[in-house]
Structure formats: C-alpha cells, structure tokens
Amino acid sequence: MNKDHAPEMRMVGESVLIVEFGRQLSRDINDAVLAFDRGLQDHTVEGLLECTPTGTSIALRFDPLQVTPDRFRHIIRELVADMDLSPGSGKSIRRCWRLPVLYGGEAGPDLDFVAAQMSCSADEVVQQHQATRQRVFMVGFAPGFLYTGLLPERFHIPRLPEIKPKVPAGSVSIAIGQTVVSSTAHPTGWHTIGRTPFVNFDPGREPPVVIRAGDEIEFCVIDAREYKDRTGQTELESFEI
Amino acid sequence: MSAGLKVLRAGPCVSVQDRGRPGFLRDGIAEGGAIDRLALEEGRLLVGNDPGLACLEYAGYGGRFEIAGAPLCLALTGASAPLRLDDKPLQPRCSFSARPGQVIELGMPVDGNYSYLSVAGGIDVTPVLGSRSTHVRGGFGGFEGRCLRKGDLLPVGKTEQSSCGMVLHHPDRSLDAPIRILWSAQRDLFGEKELQLFANTAFVVTSEYDRMGVRLRSRAAPVCVQKGLEALSGVIVAGDIQIPGNGQPVVLLADHQPTGGYPRIATIIAADLDMFAQLPPGSEVRFEPVTEQQAVEALAQLSKRIGRLPERLQKHVADPLAPAELLSTNLISGVTTGSDNSGETQ
C-alpha cells in the first residue's frame, strides 16, 4: 500500500466505519486489508468492537457512546498512517487449505456451460481452476461462505441473469473471476461447477469456521468414491503460508 | 422435575432469542438476536432475570404453551397482544405466575409485529457461539436451530429469585414519528434528486416482512439507482435500506445477510430501528435525514432509558374490573414462593 494513497473512510450508520483500500479487487489491495486487520489485533483501539475484512475494505464496528465517531475516525486514520501496509508486510498465521472437489456431473451441473462460455473443454476448466491457488477474500453472505480468487482472465464470465433458488451445501461455483464455496444450501446466481464434501461451517465444531478470510485454497480433484469417503470428515489438509 | 414450557400449538415463527451473537461477522454470521431489544430488556426485568437470558419472540399468532414441571413466572412485552392463562385474559407488561398444567395462549400482536414471552430463569437452551438466539437460516442456536413446533418441550432455567406481580407501564413510543436515517456511504450511486425524493416520500410497510427484512412500497415514483445495479460486496448493517431494481426499498433487520445485496441509500439510526421494525403492515413511514451527532445523541438517550427501566418497575395493582387477573397474579405467586422454598431444601 502506497502511503500517498490514504484509504477512503466512510460511515455506515453511526457505529460502523468502512476503511476502503481500493475500489478494484486485487491481491495487493487485499494484502493491505489483511495487514491492517492483523495490525488492529495487536492494538487496543478505544471503542472498537469488531473488525470484518472484505476483499477491498475492512468494516470496523465501534461503540459510539464510548468514543465519538469523529474521534474514532481520527484514531483509525493515525493507525493507518503508522502501519506498514505494503504488499507482503503483514506477518500472518494464514494457512493454505487443500480443498477436495468433485467436479462436473450432478455435483457441478454448470460445468459444460462454463466450458462453452470459456471456449474450452470441461477438463480444461477443471485443470485451470485447480491450478490456481486462490485467496479467500471474504467470508460473507452466509455462515462460512467463501469468496475466493482471483482466477485467470478467461474465468471472468457474468453471473446468471436469474437466481437459482437452491444449490446444495458444499457447492463450488464461479463467476466474475471468483469462486464461491458454500457451507449451507443457498440460492445462487453463480455457475456451479463442483461440490466439496468439506463443510466449512459447523456450529458444533471448534472452531466453527475453519477456512477464514486471508487464507488460501488449492482446489483438488476427487472422484465420486473419494467424495463419498470424505463426506463427514472434519479434517482438512493444510500448511502455513 | 425441572421446569419447562410444552408447546401445544405454535404460530408460524416463534423462536428463542436473546441479545444476539456479535463478533462473528467475519465468519459470515450476522448478529441476530431480539428484533425489539427494549422489549427484551423490559421482559427480563419484569420476571427478574439477569441480563442476557433468552425469551420467546413471535410475530403473527404465538401459540398455546403448557407449564410443565414447576410453577413459572412469565411476562409478555413488545407489541401488545391478547394473553390468556387458562382462558382468563391477562394484561401484557405485567409478570404473572402459572402452575404446572396451566396453559397460556399468546394471540396476535395488535399494535406492532413482535411480542416477547419472558420467563423467570430464561429459556435454557444450550448457547451456540455465545448466544441462545435462533439463527433460522443457518439452522443453529435456539431450540434445534428452528422455529418452534407443536410437541417441543422448552427447558426453563433454574432461578432463585423471581419478581412476579410487577408492571412496567408503556413507554411513550410514538408510532407515527418519522424514522431517522443517516445517508449511506453508497449515496454516490444515487443522484441528489433521488435522495430528495426518498426523504419526501411517504412509504407504506408491506406485509412482506420477517427477521431478515421488511419490504416497503410507495405510491410516489420509485427511487432509482443511477449507477450499476450489480451486487456490492460490502458489509451490511441492520437498518440498511436497500434499493433493488424495482425501486421499492427493503430495510434489513437483525437476521440480514452479512454482506452483499443491492445498493443502499441510507441506514436507519440505531435508536429508531426497533421502533421501525414494530410498525405494522399498512403503516405509513417517512424517513428524516439527521446528522451523525443527532444519531449518537438519540442512541445515548435510548441507552439511558433502558438503564433507567428498573426505576419504573412497579408492584402490580390489579384492575378491580378484572377479578380473574387479580386471582391469578396474587394467589399463584404464593404457590411459587412455597415451591421455591421446598426446592432449596432438596
């Protein structure tokens, strides 16, 4: 993050401050978001209640009865100025997870459509999707629901004009150069190309959400038998990055 | 036998709620919790509960519940609703005792959408991620992660003290005051003309409402989004007012999706949100832009009012015109005391 470009700060209501590091999603912008998120964890910030990183910004919820919005913005502005948010600066305890996916068929009904959009074969889509290590930019929309990317340019295909009312938990879907992975059944406007047996959100497990914002994912191909074997498994292979 | 509430009949959306589950937004979990937080606090004070215990929230018809195991102290707060104990009418906002085998019936809220049944000891389901609130969409928290059904037996927590026979008079919450807003950080997506139009429009609350959000409509021209209508990936806050493609606003409530959605024109200030959520379908609502400072002052006032609720708690003097109520409030509270004593010696 270049210090000449101070992030933009905007309020939502009287108790959430959005600190936006850029408008266009990129790894560099996301690095700054994550570095700031990490940095905040090392500080005691007056009135701060919760930090929520997204791809390009971080939402800071604070108690406006403890610290006025003006003062809070001032504190955050100073912190941003003091921290080194350049790419790769944020020390982290991020992990890379190897997420098994059964591509195509019933698990990924839109794989052929995606292949047609990308003017290549279904095998090539799968090969390219799993060849790219993807960053988790955000957990949002629903519990444990992952937004990952960025995929190569040819994966920038638009979302569906109409929402599909329900796709099953574990669906791996793509659009606009990103992948989404669900933990619960949900409606979607994205193209579902596969399904993972791993459930990222389980309220009875500690921690309830395993893959979190800032982590990375290597998608790996499994077959139907492996999918069956790994259903219900709570362990997921990972390494520190 | 431990105390409980047996569901003989349940309305369409009766759920266990408490103060919510803050702190999990980064894992995609919205805070949730009682829609009307003032009503939650009033209810817990009426039955003498510590802060943070859970109650039942309902919209539409509530249901019939049988007291099981031990006498209970209960109170109904939030929107006024017909309340019966063994077919005898009781007043809301008064705590009352009920014996095992007695049946309470919660009718349809009349001057709002959400009513709350609090019970001394609280609805004692296992907390999930620090809260007993039901996350219906995620299927966790509350009672089996869902709204109640006939046949459910809700555990009620043990309690030493119960302050039965108390009353809290209705606060002066005006249902026709304008709802105050702060313009959204995404206001650039709308033109100045659209913001003016929004502030000058009388909207009507539709019957399309749930814990996730409320749809409004207006007789005037719809508010238009000037720039791209594509989904935005920012964090959502309860009270955010989204403008979908048809121009009819949707206000997001406690169980909102944590991120994404349509462009947001404004956010209802925290002090007014619960009041807004209680506006019954058909109500006219106007939005009044205020300054950040006014929003914070309003929140401070609300916080002060909640802090002073215990001072307003009074011993209930029963209406002589309602002998049935007098009977159940006074006589049964004697039974409760007796039972509590015998419980302690065991």
Please give the pLDDT value at position B276.
96
Contact between chains at A11 and B292 (C-beta distance less than 8 A): yes
Q: Chain B: residue nearest A142 by CA? A: B28
Contacts with A9 from chain B: Cβ below 8 Å: none
Please give the pLDDT value at position B222.
75
Domain containing A45 equals 8-82
Encoding tokens for residue A204?
A: 């009875």
Could you tell me if A39 and A150 lie in one domain? no
User: What is the arithmetic mean of pLDDT over B179-199?
Assistant: 88
The CATH number that applies at residue A175 is 2.40.100.10
* Residues B298 and B287: beta-carbon distance below 8 Å: no
Distance from CA of B174 to the nearest CA of A (A): 22
Distance from CA of B302 to the nearest CA of A (A): 11
- Is residue A89 assigned to a domain? no
The CATH number that applies at residue A42 is 3.30.1360.40
Could you tell me if A21 and A127 lie in one domain? no
Encoding tokens for residue A147?
A: 């937004």
Q: What is the pLDDT of residues B35-76, one digit of tens each?
A: 999 999 999 999 999 999 999 999 999 999 999 999 999 999
Could you tell me if A99 and A210 lie in one domain? yes
Which member of A11, A49, A213 has the closest CB to residue B22?
Answer: A49
Give mean pLDDT in consecutive 10-residue pieces for chain A, a chain of 241 residues: 70 96 90 92 94 95 98 96 78 86 97 96 96 94 94 90 89 95 92 97 91 95 96 88 85
Place of tokens 């038998």: A225
Contact between chains at B28 and A140 (C-beta distance less than 8 A): yes
Contact between chains at A52 and B25 (C-beta distance less than 8 A): yes
Please give the pLDDT value at position B228.
53
Contact between chains at A51 and B26 (C-beta distance less than 8 A): yes
The residue among A31, A61, A82 that closes a domain is: A82
- Is residue A3 assigned to a domain? no
Please give the pLDDT value at position B334.
35
Could you tell me if A218 and A119 lie in one domain? yes
* Residues B73 and B162: beta-carbon distance below 8 Å: yes
B269 touches chain A (CB under 8 A): yes
Residue ranges and CATH numbers for the domains of chain B are 4-168+313-345 (no CATH), 179-306 (2.40.100.10)
What does the alpha-carbon distance between residue B92 and residue B195 come to, in Å, rounded to a whole number? 40
A177 touches chain B (CB under 8 A): no
A117 touches chain B (CB under 8 A): no
**So what's the ipTM on this one?**
0.92
Contacts with B241 from chain A: Cβ below 8 Å: none
The residue among A82, A116, A136 that closes a domain is: A82
Contacts with B296 from chain A: Cβ below 8 Å: 14, 64-65, 68-69
Contact between chains at A50 and B23 (C-beta distance less than 8 A): yes
Q: Pairing state of beta strands A216-221 and A95-103?
A: parallel
User: What is the arithmetic mean of pLDDT over B310-325?
Assistant: 68
Residues B29/A221/A240/A30 CA torsion (nearest 10 deg): -50
Which member of B185, B240, B295 has the closest CB to residue A14?
Answer: B295
Q: How many CB atoms lie within 10 A of CB A169?
A: 18
Best residue of A8, A12, A181 to probe chain B, by most B CBs closer than 10 Å: A12
Which member of B139, B182, B300 has the closest CB to residue A13?
Answer: B182
Number of domains in chain A: 2
Q: How many CB atoms lie within 10 A of CB B171?
A: 12
Q: What is the pLDDT of residues B3-44, one digit of tens each?
A: 999 999 999 999 999 999 999 999 999 999 999 999 999 999
Please give the pLDDT value at position B227.
60
Interface of B with A in 283-342 (CB under 8 A): 292, 295-296, 299-300, 303
Mean pLDDT in chain B?
Answer: 87
Could you tell me if A15 and A62 lie in one domain? yes
The residue among A59, A82, A105 that closes a domain is: A82
Burial of A128-160, coded b for 16+ CB within 10 Å and e otherwise, reads ebbebebbbbbbbbbbbbbbbbbbeeebebebe
Q: Pairing state of beta strands B287-289 and A146-149?
A: unpaired
Q: What is the pLDDT of residues A38-72, one digit of tens each?
A: 999 889 999 999 999 999 999 999 999 999 999 99
Q: Chain B: residue nearest A209 by CA? A: B27
